């Protein structure tokens, strides 16, 4: 951990995040360049990724940090969640750092500057890498599904892929959209818009880790029916794994970081087995090392994301992960990362 990362941890989490955004935006020339190696290069759904490691949604909610995040080594950036109108989110404090567990609990509630600002930032970025946009509805919207359709139309053309986020626990009733009757309408309507576009963009669906396998099977049926390109597993969890039993503070919100790794891996494992590799899986949840990335890939993820470990490890973590990942691939006798997808989950 660098001195700066250590100092940032002395600040309240949300302040530290805002300072990081400013530092990253205006000090990007000082950032060290990302590590590159041909063995990490991978093609997924017609998109060419320099490496399979991305920054998960929520870190760059307003698409302000695309270029610096790509510069420090990420192979892709998922911006958002963005909603049609700007909104403040839930009342503060709403982010809690659990350093002892390498975890965070947040109940931000889609704080963001809205679609107009997002698209402006997205268009003006140089984007030397893949950029996805993660979309959601406004909290006070009368019709959540209309919000997704509205925003999809606005952002898909400037994004390499679009993620439908129906899994954040901090917008009341959002997870209800994962119920069959709602999800079917949402996926049907959004896929119709996609199919009418001149340039078809991959659509990903981001799910939570708190459901049953029956529920995930139902989701996969709909994903298949409406040709959704992939699933992101997973968002934060409302559960509190056993390891947190001596957590002195009972904070409400979504848990992320090391304690949800097993939970997210379990979902990933199930999805890969069920889908016979027909859809793309992005593994996210508790990744803090090259080994964590590699495990998710061997369970069936074509791409992997992280968020929480970056707040504890700082930007230098990314190069470390990438360098170590190359070693892991070579030790196993692979020449390219794509050869390892699903090898531990056949
Ligand atoms: C502070 C914070 C804000 C987040 N905001 C979003 C968001 O806006 N949209 C989303 O889909 N996921 C959001 N997430 C979830 C992450 O994208 C990711 O799925 C989750 O944190 C698990 O990965 P991790 O353990 O590497 O952090 C957020 C996570 C954190 C910690």
**10, pLDDT greater than 80:** no
Could you give the CA distance from residue 205 to residue 166 in angstroms, rounded to a whole number? 8
103-106 vs 130-135, strand pairing mode:
unpaired
**112, pLDDT greater than 80:** yes
In this prediction, residues 213-218 reach a mean pLDDT of 97
Q: Cα-Cα-Cα-Cα dihedral of 79, 311, 108, 295, to 10°?
A: 70
Give the Å distances, CA to CA, from 253 to 212, 230, 283: 20, 26, 21
Active-site hit among 158, 168, 191, 264: 168
- Residue-level pLDDT at 249: 64
Q: Count of domains in the chain?
A: 1
Q: How far is the CA of 135 from the centre of ligand 1 (A)?
A: 13
Could you give the CA distance from residue 72 to residue 289 in angstroms, rounded to a whole number? 16
Flag whether 284 is in a domain: yes
Q: How far is the CA of 54 from the centre of ligand 1 (A)?
A: 12
Could you give the CA distance from residue 284 to residue 220 in angstroms, rounded to a whole number? 18
Flag whether 183 is in a domain: yes
**30, pLDDT greater than 70:** no
**107, pLDDT greater than 70:** yes
Flag whether 58 is in a domain: yes
Q: What is the DSSP letter of 112?
A: B
Which residue owns the Cα nearest ligand 1 atom 10? 57
Q: pTM score, two decimals?
A: 0.97
In this prediction, residues 25-52 reach a mean pLDDT of 89
Q: How far is the CA of 17 from the centre of ligand 1 (A)?
A: 13
**266, pLDDT greater than 70:** yes
In this prediction, residues 136-148 reach a mean pLDDT of 96
In this prediction, residues 140-154 reach a mean pLDDT of 97
Instruction: Quote the mean pLDDT of the chain.
Output: 94
**301, pLDDT greater than 80:** yes
Flag whether 77 is in a domain: yes
In this prediction, residues 219-225 reach a mean pLDDT of 97
Which residue owns the Cα nearest ligand 1 atom 7? 58
303-306 vs 47-49, strand pairing mode:
unpaired
Spell out the residues 6+ positions from residue 2 whose beta carbon is closer than 8 angstroms to its own.
314, 316
Atom number in ligand 1 closest to CA 232: 19
- Residue-level pLDDT at 248: 63
Which domain does 216 fall in, by range?
3-340
Residues 148-166: b if buried by 16+ CB within 10 A, e if exposed? bbbbbebbbebbbbbbbbb
Flag whether 346 is in a domain: no
Q: How far is the CA of 85 from the centre of ligand 1 (A)?
A: 20
Whether the CA torsion 43, 45, 49, 55 is positive or negative: it is negative
- Residue-level pLDDT at 125: 97
Atom number in ligand 1 closest to CA 305: 26
Flag whether 94 is in a domain: yes
Backbone angles phi, psi at 278, to 5 degrees: -80, -25
Flag whether 345 is in a domain: no
Instruction: Return the CATH number at 255.
Output: 3.20.20.70
**19, pLDDT greater than 90:** no
Q: Which residues line ligand 1 (CB under 6 A)?
A: 56-58, 61, 81, 95, 104, 106, 108, 110, 134, 165, 168, 206, 235-236, 256-257, 260, 284-287, 306-309
In this prediction, residues 331-346 reach a mean pLDDT of 96
Res. 265 pLDDT band, cuts 50 70 90: very high
Q: Provide the percentage of residues in the chain whose pLDDT is more than 90.
A: 82
338 is an active site residue: no
Q: Distance between alpha carbon 241 and the CA centroid of its chain, in Å?
A: 21
Q: What is the pLDDT of residues 67-92, one digit of tens each?
A: 999 999 999 999 999 999 999 999 99
Atom number in ligand 1 closest to CA 80: 8
Q: How far is the CA of 236 from the centre of ligand 1 (A)?
A: 6
In this prediction, residues 132-149 reach a mean pLDDT of 97
**Do 284 and 236 form a contact (C-beta atoms < 8 A)?**
no
- Residue-level pLDDT at 247: 73
Q: What is the pLDDT of residues 149-160, one digit of tens each?
A: 999 999 999 999
């Amino acid at each position: 951990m660098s001195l700066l990362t250590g100092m940032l941890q002395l600040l309240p989490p949300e302040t530290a995040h805002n300072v990081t955004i400013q530092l990253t935006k205006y000090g990007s020339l000082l950032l060290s360049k990302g590590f590159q190696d041909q063995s990490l290069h991978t093609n997924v759904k017609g998109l060419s990724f320099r490496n399979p490691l991305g920054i998960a949604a929520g870190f760059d909610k307003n698409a302000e940090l695309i270029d610096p995040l790509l510069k420090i080594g990420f192979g892709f950036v998922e911006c958002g969640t963005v909603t049609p109108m700007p909104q403040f989110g839930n009342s503060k404090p709403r982010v809690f750092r659990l350093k002892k567990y390498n975890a965070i609990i947040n109940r931000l509630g889609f704080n963001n500057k809205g679609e107009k600002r997002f698209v402006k930032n997205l268009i003006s970025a140089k984007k030397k890498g893949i950029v996805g946009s993660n979309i959601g509805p406004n909290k006070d919207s009368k019709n959540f599904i209309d919000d997704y359709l509205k925003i999809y139309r606005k952002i898909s053309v400037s994004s390499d892929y679009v993620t439908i986020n129906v899994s954040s626990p901090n917008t009341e009733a959002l997870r209800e959209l994962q119920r069959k009757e709602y999800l079917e309408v949402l996926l049907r309507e959004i896929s119709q818009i996609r199919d009418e576009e001149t340039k078809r963009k991959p659509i990903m669906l981001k799910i939570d880790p708190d459901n049953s396998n029956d529920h995930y099977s139902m989701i996969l049926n709909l994903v298949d029916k409406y040709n959704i390109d992939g699933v992101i597993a997973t968002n934060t969890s409302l559960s509190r794994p056993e390891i947190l039993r001596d957590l002195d503070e009972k904070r409400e919100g979504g848990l992320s970081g090391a304690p949800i790794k097993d939970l997210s891996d379990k979902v990933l494992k199930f999805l890969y087995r069920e889908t016979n590799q027909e859809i793309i899986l992005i593994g996210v949840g508790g990744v803090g090392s090259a080994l964590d990335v590699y495990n998710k890939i061997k369970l069936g993820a074509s791409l992997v994301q992280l968020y929480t470990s970056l707040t504890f490890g700082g930007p230098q973590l990314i190069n470390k992960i990438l360098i170590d990942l190359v070693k892991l691939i070579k030790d196993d006798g692979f020449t390219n990362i794509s050869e390892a997808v699903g090898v531990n989950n056949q």
